[in-house]
Structure 1
């Protein structure tokens, strides 16, 4: 992030614009929404700028910008649409202590003016650091459509009520009050009675929350999926936005953690096979402690909580402590890995069942019914199988599995650095040795194009 987003208080402060053409008009249309004192320097100003000056919305000097013109100015815009003139203006303004923006010159500008969605006093600023103005406009259009036109009115009335709302204790109770106002009670009151109905609605809402019992603690056990935040369920996203505490696995990606409320307490309980780990007893203690304290807790697990996620142990601990809980499934990595190779986990005529296996358990390499898997043509999604790859290879081949059986290794499933490594049972140990990240082994599945080629070869041989 080269440009740090801030909101600058320009009430009563000077902003100067050097230029009188289209670039200056575009900036002034936005600046006129502020409470700044605007001064324009232009030898030949456009009629629109002259009209604003006649209406006393800005001060117009019909001359070129010169020394002393940026004194005490907070911001200065070089909008002459002439590189040499804009550079001259910028040099003077910098020397006189103003932050300078040269229109359409990101490199020489100290700040940029973002695309803005205006629901005064709610303002959403969108910046792409000059990389994609078209994208910024698209995001702006999307937000304009999604944000209610009455949001500004709701916010202005709410702002005037903030002192009264301070009677509520800081934290969850106050947040619940404001959430009810902005999400449900406020919009409904405005629709039924207009602006005059908002203050009485706030007073009734405050009385209700002052007299309401404290919200009981709750633990939501939530599946984060394999890493891509777009694969989260809507319910998971809502719970992250409401959570006081997020207790998360090490495999949960930073992009997903960014969706948590900024004030939420984030606690990592990372586990790593054959490496540093948080004991399950400590995880149980943490979720019980925070849930029992009255917090809204999200226990965020990679993939689906019910697939090798110690789900039942955590539920048992919560129930033993009398803490309320709920369960939100997530996409399991095996299903998403199969999608990455363009294959179904089941296919008519190929396999009517699929196994979900772990490569190791608490005792070490996990033992399964390898004979059945080797001889029935089933497909298996093998989790945590990298370190046990040679063990898996030996067990399956010992029971008659063909060395040519396809095994696809999918590393960092669904993430930007996802990688699909085709292999066979014979080459599996070498394939996983080249994969540093977490991976799923898809036994019996090849990437779609490769599978089609193998099928053609088999038919030709027959």
Structure 2
């Protein structure tokens, strides 16, 4: 380890920056988050620096830095963008015994500034000894995804209560803060800092009573783990129990913490499946026992997810819950074929329906769907394809109108089948049994999207 990581107290200490251009601005954005007294030396300064100076956030000195400016400073940055000018800054700083950083010059620097995840007062610093800045940025992005933006505020609130929890033994104290920082605190903070403080008061008053259960109804998206929302990923990691349907991919379930209980409660439109009442009872039972439950649904739980049934069961049991939306398969399928779901001059309305739902359509609904330019995403429509084709043709739909079959949308096994309304049942014979299939009625894939799909399938 060449560079030893430390956290330097900069409160009321001088930090000097030589340079007034974009490089200096970049460094100052980070330094302005500290409590240091910042002095910038530049004969000509960027408008952003001048604005900060006018706001009183830093002192701007309209000349180059001199030897007499440096003694007593905590740090010096050479950020002029000119190698010779930065080397001069480095020589002046070392002569005064002050650590110096020359931007993008590892060998000329006494210290380096790491990539930082700022959740003040929680700070994560990431360094690669200057060997791989791109890797540091990648790690930074992943750590930022793990730590909610509210963590800093939550930590400051908890800090004020630390002394009141010190009487608990080590295990009980860790359990208390775990429940606050990762379960009850974030939920309460959604209603403001006062609500988070009130939640801490309730937890202290309750002592070691059993934790209150909570249910997060979470959309897992169309299948690709990278399309999971940041919030959904965090909730998965925090859950005691994960109850998922059959369309949730293994890659997403792998994101749950190792200690969590994972329960498959799948439903299938035409095969063996859990009864909805049994799923409701399962969710309620685990939450009533004090667990944090993630009810994980493929796509978006508000789209054909039996959301109302589960919410009604939770409300009847007096269990609190929250809903985290996800990307629905229709959006992923449209992205796969390179088409928008609505387009000016083509369609101002768009339908989302299931194959079973369409069986109950009234005559006017079929006429609307059959008219030129109409588009729809049909979930669970493979088995009803012949019926759909017949009803649409009967109501005047174009037999040669485009339909795209998207199998396993967003997954590596994704397939696109471009067909027509007339040939739809035949095209579906080529799909994989049991794989999720979505029909995009009225939409054909762009040539580039189809070519890319063919290439991936060939590989």
TM-score > 0.5 by shorter chain: yes
State yes or no: 1:423 paired with 2:419: yes
Q: How far off its partner does 1:215 sit?
A: 3.6
Cα deviation 1:284-316 (Å, max 9, x = unaligned): 101111111111111111111111111111111
Q: Distance in 2 between matches of 1:391 and 1:145?
A: 48
State yes or no: 1:441 paired with 2:429: no
Alpha carbons 2:406, 2:439 under 8 Å: kept: yes
Q: Distance in 2 between matches of 1:272 and 1:145?
A: 37
Q: Distance in 2 between matches of 1:319 and 1:328?
A: 17
In structure 2, runs of 5+ residues without a counterpart are 3-123, 145-165, 187-199, 451-459
Which residue, 408, 413, 437 being the options, matches 1:412?
408
Alpha carbons 1:245, 1:264 under 8 Å: kept: yes
Q: Distance in 2 between matches of 1:450 and 1:165?
A: 60
Between 1:366-375 and 1:350-359, the stretch displaced more is 366-375
Equivalence for 2:325: 329
Alpha carbons 1:405, 1:425 under 8 Å: kept: yes
Relative to structure 1, is the Cα distance of residues 176 and 284 closer, same or farther in structure 2, using a 3 angstrom cutoff? same
Which residue, 303, 307, 317 being the options, matches 1:311?
307
Relative to structure 1, is the Cα distance of residues 370 and 143 closer, same or farther in structure 2, using a 3 angstrom cutoff? same
Equivalence for 1:243: 239
Alpha carbons 2:242, 2:261 under 8 Å: kept: yes
Q: How far off its partner does 1:143 sit?
A: 3.5
Equivalence for 1:93: none
Equivalence for 1:166: 171
State yes or no: 1:351 paired with 2:356: no
Relative to structure 1, is the Cα distance of residues 167 and 309 closer, same or farther in structure 2, using a 3 angstrom cutoff? closer
Relative to structure 1, is the Cα distance of residues 245 and 396 closer, same or farther in structure 2, using a 3 angstrom cutoff? same
Alpha carbons 2:337, 2:449 under 8 Å: kept: no
Please show how residues 24-103 of structure 1 align to structure 2 within 5 Å: none
For the residue of structure 2 that corresponds to 1:360, the secondary structure is helix
Using structure 2 for the length normalisation, give the TM-score: 0.56
Q: Distance in 2 between matches of 1:146 and 1:383?
A: 33
Q: How far off its partner does 1:175 sit?
A: 3.3
Equivalence for 2:15: none
Q: How far off its partner does 1:398 sit?
A: 1.2
Equivalence for 1:283: 279
Larger radius of gyration: 1
For the residue of structure 1 that corresponds to 2:403, the secondary structure is strand
Q: How far off its partner does 1:209 sit?
A: 9.6
Q: Distance in 1 between matches of 2:205 and 2:182?
A: 12
Please show how residues 363-382 of structure 1 align to structure 2 within 5 Å: 365=359, 367=361, 369-382=365-378
State yes or no: 1:223 paired with 2:223: no
Equivalence for 1:175: 178
Alpha carbons 1:379, 1:442 under 8 Å: kept: yes
Q: How far off its partner does 1:177 sit?
A: 6.5
Q: How far off its partner does 1:243 sit?
A: 0.7
Q: How far off its partner does 1:325 sit?
A: 1.0
Cα deviation 1:161-191 (Å, max 9, x = unaligned): 9x9412459xx646337869xx9xxxxxxxx
Q: How far off its partner does 1:136 sit?
A: 9.7
Alpha carbons 2:399, 2:421 under 8 Å: kept: yes
Q: Distance in 2 between matches of 1:268 and 1:346?
A: 35
Equivalence for 1:383: 379
Relative to structure 1, is the Cα distance of residues 340 and 355 closer, same or farther in structure 2, using a 3 angstrom cutoff? same
Q: How far off its partner does 1:272 sit?
A: 1.5
Q: Distance in 1 between matches of 2:425 and 2:407?
A: 14
Q: Distance in 2 between matches of 1:146 and 1:381?
A: 33
Q: How far off its partner does 1:439 sit?
A: 1.0
Relative to structure 1, is the Cα distance of residues 178 and 287 closer, same or farther in structure 2, using a 3 angstrom cutoff? closer
Q: How far off its partner does 1:348 sit?
A: 0.4
Q: Distance in 1 between matches of 2:226 and 2:449?
A: 28
Q: How far off its partner does 1:211 sit?
A: 3.4
Q: How far off its partner does 1:258 sit?
A: 1.1
Alpha carbons 1:359, 1:366 under 8 Å: kept: no
Q: Distance in 2 between matches of 1:146 and 1:371?
A: 49
For the residue of structure 2 that corresponds to 1:373, the secondary structure is helix
Alpha carbons 1:338, 1:345 under 8 Å: kept: yes
RMSD: 4.2
Q: Distance in 2 between matches of 1:293 and 1:147?
A: 32
Using structure 1 for the length normalisation, give the TM-score: 0.56
Cα deviation 1:214-257 (Å, max 9, x = unaligned): 44211111111110112122211121111111110110011111
Q: How far off its partner does 1:380 sit?
A: 0.4
Relative to structure 1, is the Cα distance of residues 377 and 243 closer, same or farther in structure 2, using a 3 angstrom cutoff? same
